[in-house]
Chain A
Amino acid sequence: MSKKPTAGPALHKVIMVGSGGVGKSALTLQFMYDEFVEDYEPTKADSYRKKVVLDGEEVQIDILDTAGQEDYAAIRDNYFRSGEGFLCVFSITDDESFQATQEFREQILRVKNDESIPFLLVGNKCDLNDKRKVPLSECQLRAQQWSVPYVETSAKTRENVDKVFFDLMREIRSRKTEDSKATSGRAKDRCKKRRLKCTLL
């Protein structure tokens, strides 16, 4: 799918999912630009790619966020397919956005066909705790059911913003090493299968 960089730091592809208006893009911008958001230029090729140091190792993170395109339902499957890890974001002040995570999760699992895909459930806008509509216990329960971590963030106060991205990258990294260890791993088989499709006579 994605072109592997021939040299240089490992590239981790992170995908932001969630309903419109939950703050996906705010999280992304906070993580990418911090206070230098003035530098942001939407059309540049590397606008969503950043070099970071993950546990002493230099890696690259590539964030795909289709904020604003939430209603283009049909394109989701395809970009899910290219993702290596997912941040599934909802707003703790909006129950509907929390309910929607269920569908996103299902859709991702369907496309990736992998229950243990690196995945974080993220409750955003935790600075607005007084307007909270989704009880913490419910969020934790859902995360537990999916056996994924649950983190509450605030793009506004920058609380846990780095944490969710770094946690996810760690998961992706350990997942990749696992896969490369298992020489005849499932991931590889899947790749083969996919390729086979194209080489048939």
Chain B
Amino acid sequence: MMRYSEISRDLSTDNLRYNELSRKPAATDYNGYTTASTMPVYAATQIAAARPTKQRSPPLTNGNAHTMSCIRDMDKVKGQKDALHAGEAKTLNIKSTRRKNSIGCLNSFSSSPDSPGCYYSMATNTPLPSKSQSLPAHASIKQLDNVILSALRVPADVLANQITLLDFPVFAMIQPDELSSCAWTKKDKHVVTPNIVAFTKRFNHTSFWTVQEILNAEQPKQRAEIMTHFIKVAKKLHELNNLHSLFAIISAMQSASIYRLNKTWACLSKKDRQSFERLKDIFSEQNNWANLRAYLESLRLPCIPYLGLFLTDLIYIDLAHPHKGGLEPEQRRNKMNNILRVISNYQQSDYKQIQPHDITQKYLTSIRYIEELQNIFEEEQYKRSLSLEPTSPSCGPSSSSCSSKESFNVETVTPALGCLNLSPAKTIGSMRMASGTKFVPGHRKCRSLGTKFRSSSLPRNFAQKCQCCIVMIAPGIGTISNKRCRCRRIFGKIAPNHNHSDVGHLHLEHDQNQQLPRHHLLDDSVLEHSDALSNADLTSLESAEGVLYDFTGSDCDLMSPEAAAAMQGCVRRKTVQKEGRKPAVASWQRYWLQIWANSLVYFPPKSFKGSDRSDFKREPCKVCPLDGWYAHVSDNTKHKNTFELYHRTLGTIYKFRTDSPHMTHLWSNAICKLATIRVPKPLPTNLMSFE
């Protein structure tokens, strides 16, 4: 609970900071925005000049706010009120969002992965040649086609302050008559209760803006960044006792479009999530909004309450004690007056200590929100949310590269996914930890693997279906360098002559019966693993590079299915063609790729640099069964390390880039090995010549 004394102190410090800002070049930045907003095309140099000194990171782009800006442009340029037209323009702009999306994210974040504080850089939409993380920070600014301002560009406290300044006059305008009329739900609300309507609109406006800003970002990580920013704004609003806009932001984050973005929520820090939960609890509807009521009671001015609560109370009082002409019933009058008094008291709030900041206010008010189109907006946002993170639990956040076909196919391997989350990737983490703490992973680990495996409610034919699931669980750690031999050794011990699927099956049986051989087997393997982890091998485990010299071309052709199944490493992927059509925009996306069962599993990057396993998330974002896919090393001389993965019937082609030609061949080979167990496939000419 916040004390009043704290508020004023915070406000004054905030004020100081704020003044500081306006004296500093940051002001120029904002001025830059004014110019820019009236003149969308803006020279790069000017922006560079206008960039504030406060900014810590190299300046870069972020294409976040274009939808917003477009809506704003629309507002600005046309000033039209034609609803249809507005809707049209919006759809168009959402399309253009798609095109620009690839721009900012990686670079702006890679430039300052852990300094979310630098919000002052101007938004510049620059076409980037590629998303490659090795790109120098400045390399991308070649031309600028637009300059816009997004929420991220304004510090959270400035936003909260200015939102409050915009909210308060509207709130203060609300007349007692409007409230006692209970007419804000009626058809003539615009006439009888114009200020209540206007105030409600501010709520929806703030909420809409929050959702839109979050959805503008293409990658979960970016979205999380924006969310974090809004949580900061919310915290500041909380300090300012602006419960109205605080609830607007909290609601936005719980709206259907945002709530479902699991990948994004997962990127939030624990601290921010806790802050959010705490703020959210204030507005719990439980026990007749008991938390909110108690909280309001405890507050002192200044405060902008969430009016909706009072509106409901008034409606109920009106209903319980109807005024049927004549003298107003006493109970009704008393209860109504109680509420009116409370509200009028809040209207005495004084936020004069906050300095208005025209540029920010202009930004905030320029966001076009048409109440009547609210449903359409919401629908659009939901669609956008679905495309960003498709509903399928296994499908990843990058909509552009995840086809519906893929996500559909994924269903067939979902049972495997349960253990996947827990096994290969996590094994690495725990193993690494184990090696550090000298903990010898023994039975406990085996058993836990076993239980997890069992617990995932496998179908009866699972063993056949996922031919190498067990193989993967055990040797999923480490990279191919030592993997192959180890796999052979391990599995050689128990099933030297078994074919692959038999091995899997056998293990499964053992596992289910909790018999000793399984434990022996895994003990062995574990011992070997710890050997492997003990010394220099640890580094090779961390990195997929530089560990392949012991492989020759012929060697990889002879790769055992086990080894193929255990392939993993850092790759980049680009969509060449999807369902027979070329994508409008294709960029290289970095993934930790792993073959698991007969599927390719993609792990999204954690950061924007690095090719170690630890640079990628532990949760996979995509799982694509390999059935029907071909891989071949592309003949393209320009990119030596690429291979293509294509589907004969789907007409989808992906290009993959690895770190070395060796790796490329290993990958294409491994994929062919697994994908073509049923489908015989002619060897690509290139591969033949390689041999």
Q: Mark A residues whose CB is within 8 Å of B.
A: 2-3, 19-21, 25-26, 29, 33, 37-38, 40, 42-49, 64-75, 77-79, 81-82, 103, 107, 110-111, 184, 193, 197-198, 200-201
Q: Name the residue among A20, A38, A78, A201 with the largest chain B CB count within 10 angstroms.
A: A78
Chain B residues with a Cβ under 8 A of chain A: 182, 184-186, 197, 200, 203-204, 207-208, 247-248, 251-252, 254-256, 259, 262, 265-266, 273, 285-288, 290, 293, 308, 311-317, 319-321, 331, 335, 371, 374-375, 378, 382, 393, 457, 618-619
Minimum Cβ distance to chain B for residue A155 (Å): 9
Q: How far is the CB of A48 from chain B (nearest CB, A)?
A: 6
With A71-B185, A75-B251 known to touch, is A40 a contact of B320 (CB < 8 Å)?
yes
Q: Which of B184, B285, B393 gathers most chain A CB within 10 Å?
A: B285
Instruction: Indicate which residue in A40, A64, A111, A201 contacts B316 across the interface (CB closer than 8 Å).
Output: A40
Return the 6 tightest CB-CB contacts between A and B, nearest first: A20-B185, A74-B207, A68-B311, A68-B315, A45-B287, A42-B313
Enumerate chain A residues within 8 angstroms of B186, measured Cβ to Cβ.
20-21
> Is B266's CB under 8 angstroms from A73's CB?
no
> Given the known A-B contacts A78-B251, A81-B254, A193-B262, are A43 and B319 also in contact in the complex, defined by CB atoms under 8 Å?
no
Contact A48 B288 (CB under 8 A): yes
- Residues B290 and A45 in contact, CB atoms below 8 Å apart: yes
The binding surface of chain B is classed by DSSP as helix
Contact across chains for A29 and B312 when beta carbons are under 8 A apart? no
Q: How far is the CB of A103 from chain B (nearest CB, A)?
A: 6
Cα-based distance from A46 to B288 in the complex (angstroms)? 7
Smallest CB-CB separation from B258: which chain A residue? A77
Given contacts A33-B320, A69-B311, A200-B266, 20 further A-B contacts (CB under 8 A): A20-B186, A21-B185, A25-B319, A29-B320, A40-B316, A42-B313, A42-B317, A43-B313, A46-B288, A65-B312, A66-B308, A68-B182, A68-B184, A71-B371, A72-B203, A73-B374, A74-B252, A78-B259, A81-B254, A110-B382
For A33, the chain B residues whose CB sits under 8 A away are 320
- In the bound complex, what is the Cα–Cα distance between A116 and B687 (angstroms)? 54
A and B contact pairs by CB, cutoff 8 A, 25 listed: A3-B286, A20-B184, A29-B319, A37-B321, A40-B320, A42-B312, A43-B288, A43-B293, A48-B288, A67-B312, A68-B182, A68-B311, A68-B313, A68-B314, A69-B308, A69-B312, A71-B200, A73-B374, A74-B204, A77-B254, A77-B255, A79-B285, A110-B256, A197-B262, A197-B265
Q: Within the assembled complex, what's the spacing in Å between the Cα atoms of A33 and B317?
A: 13
Scoring B266, B312, B314, B317 by chain A CB atoms within 10 A of each residue's CB, the highest score goes to B312
> Least Cβ distance of B336 to chain A in Å?
10
A72 touches B256 (CB 8 A): no
Q: Which residue of B lies closest to A30 (CB)?
A: B319
Query: How far is A29 from B311 in the complex, measured between Cα atoms in Å?
Result: 16
Closest to A42 in B: B313
Task: State the CA gap A67–B207 with chains docked (Å).
Answer: 20
Identify the interface centre among B207, B248, B265, B286: most chain A CB within 10 Å of its CB.
Answer: B286
A64 to B374, CA, bound (A): 23
Given A21-B185, A68-B308, A200 and B313 contact (CB-CB distance below 8 Å) = no
Query: Are B312 and A68 touching (Cβ within 8 A)?
Result: yes
Residues of B within 8 A of A78 (CB): 251, 254-255, 259
Q: Specify which chain A residues have a CB less than 8 angstroms from the CB of B335 in the assembled complex.
A: 42
- Choose from B184, B208, B375 the contact partner of A71 (Cβ within 8 Å): B184
State whether B265 touches A72 (Cβ < 8 A): no
The reply to whether B207 and A77 form a contact with Cβ atoms under 8 Å apart is no
